[in-house]
Structure 1
Amino acid sequence: MRNHRAHYFGNEEKPRIEIIPMIDIMMFLLVFFMLVMLKMIQGTGLKLELPQSSTATQLNTVDVTVGVEKDGELHLDRNDISAPQLTARLKDMEATKQVNVTIAGDKGVEYETIIKTMDLVRSAGIGSVALATDAQ
């Protein structure tokens, strides 16, 4: 006697992986992330033809962060530095470019130490000084 079940199992198609829908989803994600990144980065992707000016000057600025620890130790670009060396380095930088200094003080630093650091920066001839804080 013949088994009818064997007949049904023999005609089944083998399962296969459809790759075309997966490619569609990957393309959608790629386009989505590209558009999001363009919105996050200001001015990218825009070809602008700027007008000419005979009195235009190039802005030569550099941003520098001075770190101040609780014990009064100073850091310039993550390197330990003394107060006289800091003033000398900032004077050298200011001679070639306009320097914007941000003072990042540790949470427990005394107010007087921050003011002394600001005085060091200003004695180097730098008028653009900011204090770094954390957003709440």
Structure 2
Amino acid sequence: MRYLETRKARIEIIPMIDIMLFLLVFFAMLTLRMIPSSGHVTKLPTSSTAVAIPHPKLLVEINPDGSLQVENHTLTPAQLTELLHQRDSSKTAVTIAGSDTSSLQQVMTVIDAIKAGGATEVGLATRTAAGK
């Protein structure tokens, strides 16, 4: 009598494969989002102590001519300060990505504008020295 026989439990693997494929696609898309939002190619300076940081809430790029690029808009330091005042800048993490030809004065001008806007988390984007 087949109806009275106990059947062995089986672990179905197909749904697990589907979930793992979904997670793979999700994390691949999340990783691609880590590329700076403006899409500009910036030659970052190198550092032997560079570490990976979370995706910035606001990315400020210093162009070789000294202009600032924020969210695909060219701004002055005063306009950057005003932009930070409009946001909740105390919770905004700002990352500065300067080209390798940017001067220290340009970087300090941007940092002063960010501090005047009220942001407290400021990071500098670099490449590792081995990434050359």
- TM normalised by structure 1 equals 0.54
Please state how far the C-alpha of 1:134 moved relative to its aligned partner. Answer: 2.4
Q: Which runs of 4+ in 1 moved over 2 A?
A: 30-33, 38-41
Q: Tell which structure's C-alpha radius of gyration is larger.
A: 1
67, 85, 92: which one pairs with 2:86?
92
Q: Relative to 1, partners in 2 of residues 1:39 and 1:82: Cα closer, same or farther, differing over 3 Å? A: closer
2:77–2:109 CA contact under 8 A, matched in 1: no
Query: Partner letter of residue 93 of structure 1?
Result: R
User: Which residue of the partner structure matches residue 70 of structure 1?
Assistant: 64
- The answer to whether structure 1 residue 110 and structure 2 residue 112 are counterparts is no
Structure 1 residues without counterparts, runs of 5 or longer = 1-26, 42-61
Structure 2 residues without counterparts, runs of 5 or longer = 1-13, 29-55
3-state SS of paired residue (1:102) = strand
1:66–1:104 CA contact under 8 A, matched in 2: yes
The answer to which structure, 1 or 2, has the higher relative contact order (CA under 8 A, 6+ apart) is: 2
Count of aligned positions: 87
Please state how far the C-alpha of 1:83 moved relative to its aligned partner. Answer: 1.5
Q: State the identity %.
A: 22
1:67–1:74 CA contact under 8 A, matched in 2: yes
Please state how far the C-alpha of 1:115 moved relative to its aligned partner. Answer: 1.2
- Once residues 119 and 100 of structure 2 are traced to their aligned partners in structure 1, the CA distance between those partners, rounded to angstroms, is 24
Query: Partner letter of residue 85 of structure 1?
Result: Q
- TM normalised by structure 2 equals 0.55
- The answer to whether structure 1 residue 120 and structure 2 residue 107 are counterparts is no
- Once residues 60 and 86 of structure 2 are traced to their aligned partners in structure 1, the CA distance between those partners, rounded to angstroms, is 15
1:87–1:121 CA contact under 8 A, matched in 2: yes
**Larger helix proportion, structure 1 or 2?**
1
1:67–1:78 CA contact under 8 A, matched in 2: no
Q: Relative to 1, partners in 2 of residues 1:38 and 1:73: Cα closer, same or farther, differing over 3 Å? A: closer
- Once residues 120 and 39 of structure 1 are traced to their aligned partners in structure 2, the CA distance between those partners, rounded to angstroms, is 36
